[in-house]
Structure 1
Amino acid sequence: MRTSRTARRAAVLAASGTALATLLAASPAGAADLPTVTATSESAALYDDEAGGNSDADDPAIWRNPADPARSLVVATAKEGGLRVYDLDARLVQSPAAPKPPAEDDAPGRFNNVDLVSGQRTSTGLADVAVVSDRGNDRLRIYRIDPSRPGGPLTDITDPAAAPVFSADQTEINDQRTAYGLATWKDKSTGRTYALASQRERTRLALLELVPTANGTVGYRKVRTLDLPSSFRLPNGTSWTPCLEPGELPQIEGMVVDPATGTLYAGQEDIGIWRLRADLTNKPVLIDRTREYGVPGTYDEATEECTPGADPGYGGTRLSADVEGLTIYQEKGGDGYLLASSQGDNTFALYDREVSESNEYEGGFRIGAATDTLDSVEESDGAAVLNAPLGTRYPRGLLVVQDGQESPEVPDGEGGTRTATGFKFVDLGAVVDATDM
């Protein structure tokens, strides 16, 4: 069985415990000192097995219903399980399926990340849409959002002629170096809308313009690409790359664009958080590094695990790989925060949204258990925040995060437990109060 990325990161941390303890003690707030908030509700667990439709929670997005904010929706990805649409009580509203494989031996559709566009141009008028990265087919999928639609709020309006994002043909698609992370962006100067997609197991980002067609669908065209670094020069003069399986490069998944400034923040899972223009036309700046940054490792083919070396102490103090779930908390006047999931230590980090302040670290928090059944959040992949009133249930806004280890555990009938994930809904007001945001 292939060892998970999280397990490999845990091995690195265990081997570099002394240096890591020093880093945590020197940080503005060690992980153990961060405040804890609890979720108010959670989705039903998703199970990544045949009985569960190979459903695996990953990334959420929050759509605010302008006519009735209390009836707002959360759109979330479930990989081979397609999409899940929830109401504000985390109850299932709709579950559009991912596409079936083109042929028996081809990869099936696999919805990885999702983001929203408000006022997308179509041939039938403006529409709010959800844009999804279909890792299985190396394409973007576009869904119109209409809460009054009898069959459910989402309708697939993807241009059938949409081409693969990174692959030349189906053979390359089946290799699954495909569209992975995703963020959307509207250029305020032109009104044009874009999606930014990252490539799985590579460092490439692609800027794609969303283009309406004459028949009411929406497609996309590639504008440009940019490759983030895959190796790094350390202060001692050596070159370092993170330990990964052979042929892999340090990939990017969590991404978000600050709509006020057109600034893209991209989480390179093993490395840290990059800041650059959303149009991919400037040199990226690494605003924070993972604790594991610079730690050498040797991949063992027999065990499919990395054997870490000594930590040279060049890593950061706030993020434990993987870096995931980037989202923007917007305040009036341009203030606010960049929120990032520090997957390796089950915490969330907050950075000043102002580029002029060099995105200074402002603290963090964790999401603990509210009850025996409403459990804590571990290994969170995706996150979405909306600082706007959503009826009486969330008058100060909402934070939704993926939970990578749902409990209680459910037996799989073979002596183990089923892999269970889900989404937690957190009162944003509670986060603001706990963190002094």
Structure 2
Amino acid sequence: MKYSLVTTLLCSLLPIMGCHAQKTTTTTVNINPLFSEPAFSGKQGVMLSGEEPKWLLTSESKGLLLLDQQAQPLSRFNGNFETLTMRENVLLNEEQSTLIATIDNEHNTIKLLSLKQDNTFTLQSSLPFEHSQLESLCLFRQPLGDISLFAVDAVGEVHQFIIYNAKQQHIDIQPIRSFVGVPEVQGCAVDDSREQLYLVEGNIGVWQYDANPESDPMRTLIVAANPFGQLQGDISDISVTAEGSVWITTPENQQLHVIQPITGLYQSITLDGLTEPETVNVTLHNKRFQAVVFDAVQDSYWQVDDLKNIVPQKLLKTTTLATISADVQTDPVLRFGDAADDPAIWVDQQTPANSLILGTDKRVGLMVYGLDGALLQSLEIGRVNNVDVRQHSSINSPLNTIITASNRTKSSISVFELDEQRSVHHVGEIATDLGDIYGLCMYQSDSGSYVFVNDKDGRYQQYRISATKPNIVAKKVREFALPSQPEGCSADDRTGKLYMGEEDAGIWQIDAEPNPSAQASRIADVGDILKDDVEGMEVYHGQNASYLVVSSQGNNSFVVYGLWDDYPILTNFRIDMDLTNGIDGVSETDGLTVSAAALPGYPQGVLIVQDGRNQLPQQPQNFKVVDWRKVQALIEQSDHVN
């Protein structure tokens, strides 16, 4: 049968909507009854893709029901189910399947099922949920093909799990993170293409979050219900189509609404003939939207065959960065929050396996780890921010090593040594007159051992360390400034150049020798690739060339510059999760370090980075170790490398 469908173009509820006028149009579409059965107690349905239409429905009494194009049952999976989320074209043991997640109401568990092409259901896993009563689920296909699941409970907590390993083509359940969502959630959905999670708070509106596991759970209200916005009635459900259109239902006024974040379109669609359209699932087939709506009063499913007056969005072109994964991660620091900051590496030239990773915990002090990531020492000497190390025959200490760190508790430079047993010892402080000491890096040359420290006001100071025993002897030999706040820096001992990051502007270079007439010059600007804040950086000396690796914190990536004419960008990449080894990706990196020294398992050395969000599972921050060969492989693909 046909019903009248009234479409209203409303003014923008929020800036994302992007319209300014109000216009009302009326059109007619096909709305057909799809399925009903006495005491079926349905809730959610979805149309599957394919040449012959199929529908998947939930029922509290009959479980999951698969229907053919005549709405006749093809197969069933028994149980008491209401919630339904799925992703098609999932390879499980080289067989194409539809992956389904639903809530088992009887046992408060998450059921993961596969629906094969022969229409049979297979239970892949049953995940007990002990946090609270489950309310909503939604799946997210991540950029590299892995699939994660958002589970929202009755107290508003959102729990994200990895459930599918695309590389291994099997179910792999690992907790990623948890965060506070919305109370009494009515529904959730994910836009895979834009990596956006949507949660419905019925009487408030729809909240948008970043779905990426390495993101902060910041939220934006994209549509608000009265009295907070113009939308009339509580929202009961949400669906997102492949190109990013967001669809919501308001049962009180029998309306379906569509929001297009890219085009700014907002439309309200009145579904005449339905009493209480509680849930909706919209799919895009052959460039046309088709919806399955469940009417709670009539306990029946309905099909909206053609929403032809609504044009699908064109997806924005996005640049996909190359990704690599970490090989080892350190133990987490002691507490949650912004704590871990900057790493350095001491190489044991006699027994490389005994090399040490030094990492700052800016709430506690200096941490010392083995190459396997295990914590070996904790030196609680104050809020140390950045750390660096130099090894040189001219350094008068047991292992010809000096370690320094910027100490924000004392506005000083903390100095450390290594003993014969490879234990780190704090030997004292070098006082500075900086008001807010911040970044630090070291430089070694024939003229001595130097430390550069900076202040948030842009000032740099350079100190020469002449001795550490019996007392520390140090002298300030130079001071200069960048226009605004710096932090990360790295000195190239071979060329005598100091590279400095100005967080909001770019990368600078100046002579590292204490020449008072030397002038700094900017060699790289923030932009599309290098995104502020510019954070940690370090020079890597390869067999044939030298590079500068920089943390591009604004887009959770790393940029590699060639240290030759014009400083070309050779590659930029992200560090993604390694599900097989249970190591999460890297984001919000502050400090980093590199070493070209051959180490066990790392013949070309390592890249070590701070991880601002340590997930899989959620833990305090830590440091990640990457085999340099992975970075070098990306560099070799550059047009600037001969």
Cα distance change on mapping 1:40 and 1:31 into 2, 3 Å: farther
Cα distance in structure 2, aligned partners of 1:178 and 1:120: 33
SS at match of 1:358: coil
Cα distance in structure 2, aligned partners of 1:31 and 1:84: 39
Cα distance in structure 2, aligned partners of 1:424 and 1:323: 19
Cα distance in structure 2, aligned partners of 1:31 and 1:57: 31
Say if 2:338 and 2:612, in contact at 8 Å, map to a contact too: no
For residue 140 of structure 1, what is the aligned residue in structure 2?
A: 413
Give the Å deviation of 1:81.
1.7
Alignment of 1:254 with 2:488, yes or no, is yes
For residue 227 of structure 1, what is the aligned residue in structure 2?
A: 481
Cα deviations by residue, 1:151-208 (Å, 9 ceiling, x for unpaired): xx1011225xx32x124xxxxxxxxx322111111123x2x11100011x20100011
Say if 1:327 and 1:338, in contact at 8 Å, map to a contact too: yes
Give the Å deviation of 1:218.
2.6
SS at match of 2:631: helix
Among 569, 572, 593, the residue aligned to 1:364: 572
Q: Matches of residues 200-211 of structure 1 in structure 2 within 5 Å?
A: 201-211=456-466
Cα distance in structure 1, aligned partners of 2:518 and 2:492: 16
Cα distance in structure 1, aligned partners of 2:532 and 2:389: 26
Q: What's the % identity of the aligned pairs?
A: 32
Cα distance in structure 2, aligned partners of 1:322 and 1:424: 20
SS at match of 2:340: coil
SS at match of 1:431: helix
For residue 428 of structure 2, what is the aligned residue in structure 1?
A: 158
Cα deviations by residue, 1:30-59 (Å, 9 ceiling, x for unpaired): 98333211011111222545xxxx781100
Among 110, 122, 127, the residue aligned to 2:383: 110
Cα distance change on mapping 1:368 and 1:124 into 2, 3 Å: closer
Cα distance in structure 2, aligned partners of 1:402 and 1:147: 28
For residue 59 of structure 1, what is the aligned residue in structure 2?
A: 342
For residue 45 of structure 1, what is the aligned residue in structure 2?
A: 332
Give the Å deviation of 1:430.
1.6
Among 382, 385, 394, the residue aligned to 2:602: 394
For residue 153 of structure 2, what is the aligned residue in structure 1?
A: none
Cα deviations by residue, 1:249-302 (Å, 9 ceiling, x for unpaired): x311100011111111100111110111113642211111113xxxxxxxxxxx
Say if 2:505 and 2:525, in contact at 8 Å, map to a contact too: yes
Moved more, 37-46 or 124-133: 124-133
Letter in 2 for 1:115: D
Say if 1:383 and 1:400, in contact at 8 Å, map to a contact too: yes
Q: Matches of residues 233-312 of structure 1 in structure 2 within 5 Å?
A: 250-278=484-512, 279=514, 281-291=517-527
Cα deviations by residue, 1:311-362 (Å, 9 ceiling, x for unpaired): xxxxxx32111101101110246x21101000010110011112xx021221
TM-score by length of 2: 0.48
Say if 1:185 and 1:193, in contact at 8 Å, map to a contact too: yes
SS at match of 1:338: strand
Cα distance in structure 1, aligned partners of 2:384 and 2:433: 16
SS at match of 1:430: helix
Cα distance in structure 1, aligned partners of 2:458 and 2:328: 36
Among 622, 636, 639, the residue aligned to 1:422: 622
Give the Å deviation of 1:213.
5.3
Alignment of 1:197 with 2:197, yes or no, is no
Displacement over 4 Å in runs of 4+: 120-126
Among 63, 79, 88, the residue aligned to 2:371: 88
Among 35, 44, 48, the residue aligned to 2:322: 35
Cα distance change on mapping 1:424 and 1:125 into 2, 3 Å: closer
Cα distance change on mapping 1:429 and 1:146 into 2, 3 Å: farther
For residue 309 of structure 1, what is the aligned residue in structure 2?
A: none
Cα distance change on mapping 1:80 and 1:370 into 2, 3 Å: same
Say if 1:122 and 1:213, in contact at 8 Å, map to a contact too: no
TM-score by length of 1: 0.69
Say if 1:46 and 1:55, in contact at 8 Å, map to a contact too: no
Higher helix share: 1
Higher strand share: 2
Letter in 2 for 1:180: Y
Letter in 1 for 2:439: G
Tell me the C-alpha RMSD between the 2 structures. Answer: 2.7
Cα distance change on mapping 1:328 and 1:213 into 2, 3 Å: closer
Say if 1:319 and 1:349, in contact at 8 Å, map to a contact too: yes
Cα distance change on mapping 1:322 and 1:127 into 2, 3 Å: same
Q: Which runs of 5+ in 2 are unaligned?
A: 1-214, 221-260, 263-316, 638-642
Letter in 2 for 1:288: A
Among 296, 300, 324, the residue aligned to 2:535: 324
Say if 1:378 and 1:404, in contact at 8 Å, map to a contact too: yes
Cα distance change on mapping 1:48 and 1:251 into 2, 3 Å: farther
Cα distance change on mapping 1:211 and 1:31 into 2, 3 Å: farther
Give the Å deviation of 1:79.
0.8
SS at match of 1:58: strand
Q: How many residue pairs are counted as aligned between the two chains? A: 324
Cα distance in structure 2, aligned partners of 1:368 and 1:252: 27
Give the Å deviation of 1:421.
1.1
Q: Matches of residues 156-195 of structure 1 in structure 2 within 5 Å?
A: 156-158=426-428, 162-163=430-431, 165-167=432-434, 177-188=435-446, 190=447, 192-195=448-451
Cα distance in structure 1, aligned partners of 2:420 and 2:576: 32
Cα distance change on mapping 1:34 and 1:183 into 2, 3 Å: same
SS at match of 2:379: coil
Cα distance in structure 2, aligned partners of 1:270 and 1:136: 25
For residue 549 of structure 2, what is the aligned residue in structure 1?
A: 339
Cα distance in structure 1, aligned partners of 2:607 and 2:624: 8
Cα distance in structure 2, aligned partners of 1:55 and 1:154: 24
Give the Å deviation of 1:221.
1.4
Say if 2:369 and 2:377, in contact at 8 Å, map to a contact too: yes
SS at match of 2:451: strand
SS at match of 2:350: coil
Structure of larger gyration radius = 2
Cα distance in structure 2, aligned partners of 1:339 and 1:31: 24
Cα distance change on mapping 1:319 and 1:213 into 2, 3 Å: closer
Letter in 2 for 1:382: G
Say if 2:330 and 2:375, in contact at 8 Å, map to a contact too: yes
Give the Å deviation of 1:122.
6.1
Cα distance change on mapping 1:31 and 1:367 into 2, 3 Å: farther
Letter in 2 for 1:267: G
